[in-house]
Structure 1
């Protein structure tokens, strides 16, 4: 259980690092991105582990990756190239 939580936290850090590396101009401060990635991964691991029970290490890590990516996607701001004048209502 401890190794599973540690693995999901590392997975959240890796996803947050990849997001800051790839989308640095569309994300807020790096500390917020890293903490959101780790918290999302731990929460996803908790939810999947609770739903599937013990002995499901790989599916729990998959759930951690999905929830971490989803929570990181909520931090994205729109890109500047699509900001233009909106059509009149």
Structure 2
């Protein structure tokens, strides 16, 4: 279980690094992104492990990756200016 948690945290950090590498202009500060990636992965592994039980570490890592990616997507900012229209237009 310790290795599963460590693996999911590393997976979350790798996803955060990839997001920063690809979308640095749309994300907040680096420490927040790395923390969110690792925490999301640990939470995803915990939920998946609780739901499926022991003996399926690959599915726990898949759950960690999904929740980590979803958490990181919540940090994204809009890329350009938002076009606002008036209610009468």
Please indicate, yes or no, whether the TM-score normalized by the shorter chain is above 0.5. yes
Number of aligned positions between the proteins: 87
Under a length normalisation based on structure 1, what TM-score does the superposition of the two structures give?
0.95
The reply to whether residue 46 of structure 1 matches residue 46 of structure 2 is: yes
Instruction: Name the residue aligned to 1:35.
Output: 35
Q: Distance in 2 between matches of 1:70 and 1:36?
A: 10
70 and 16 in structure 1: CA distance in 2 versus 1, 3 angstrom threshold: same
TM-score (norm 2): 0.95
Pairs within 5 Å for 1:64-75: 64-75=64-75
Paired with 1:76 and 1:14, the residues of 2 have a C-alpha distance of 17
Task: Give structure 1 regions of 4+ aligned residues with deviation exceeding 3 angstroms.
Answer: none
Segments of 5+ residues of structure 2 without an aligned counterpart are none
Per the alignment, do residues 28 and 52 of structure 1 end up closer, same or farther by CA in structure 2, a change over 3 Å counting?
same
Q: Distance in 2 between matches of 1:30 and 1:19?
A: 10
User: Where in structure 1 are there 5+ consecutive unaligned residues?
Assistant: none
| Matched residue, 2:78 | 78
Aligned residues: CA RMSD: 0.8
Paired residue secondary structure (1:23): helix
**2:18 alignment counterpart:** 18
Structure 1 position 38, deviation (Å): 0.1
